[in-house]
Amino acid sequence: MIRIREAVVAGPFYPAGVAALLLAVSMLAASLTAADDAARFAAERAVLVDELAAYGRLEPPPGKPGFDERVLRALREVERHRFVPQDVQAEAYANRPLPIGHGQTISQPYIVALMTELVAPRPGDRVLEIGTGSGYQAAVLAKLVDAVYSIEIIEPLAQQAQERLARLGYDNVSTRLGDGYFGWEEQAPFDAIVVTAAASHVPPPLIAQLKPGGRMVIPVGGRFAVQYLLLVEKTAAGEIVTRQVTAVRFVPLTGEH
């Protein structure tokens, strides 16, 4: 009996030298594509920051002639496209919020610049952020202060942000999973607090964890009501002064409170 063996076709066969050449060409093409993408993103980021600088001169933050150059420089350095899902990376430098999954968004760059400006971050400061999200606001703050502590209540986002910030080298950002309403008492007090989700009121634990002389920025209002960005300042004597800055729209602050 004659037995015929079936041939298994795994693909085209190339001599070792040709295979190595094809691999090298493929790697070079991928490298060139990555370089093109990096250049395009850098150009788009520069245009965005120029737009923010111009808008800041037309509609400056309260008490300021425009956005501080340190804030604008941080926005130039932080690569927003690395903090959004791949399917919306092409829109990373549009001046608008973008979805990041789990019903959450990455804030509009103008709002990130405004909130950062309002808390007046300084070298040596310790800042608390409520609502890590993708980690973008934390990364911007990390360029300006000594240490950032960020809390996220949605576990997958908290894990992704922690891994992303570590991979990108933001070693001065500490993150944790938890209910941001109660702050991070073990690391308090803070020179500044940035809340990136709308609360129905200013959480008392956050006021308690703010240093005298410190500033907090927080959106206040319901999901279907008008929300306002509030600047909360604690005087050296411990008195609380609040100022309404502008109307905004944020996802709600969630938790057991």
The residues that are catalytic are: 107
Distance of CA 3 to CAs 7, 8, 9, 76, Å? Answer: 13, 16, 19, 69
Q: What whole-number distance in Å separates Cα of residue 219 and Cα of residue 206? A: 13
Q: What whole-number distance in Å separates Cα of residue 2 and Cα of residue 242? A: 92
Contact 201, 207 (CB under 8 A): no
Contact 94, 160 (CB under 8 A): no
Contact 217, 229 (CB under 8 A): yes
* Tokens found for residue 21: 């050449």
Ramachandran class of 147: left when φ > 0, alpha when ψ lies in -120 to 50, beta otherwise: beta
Query: What single letter denotes the amino acid at residue 82?
Result: R
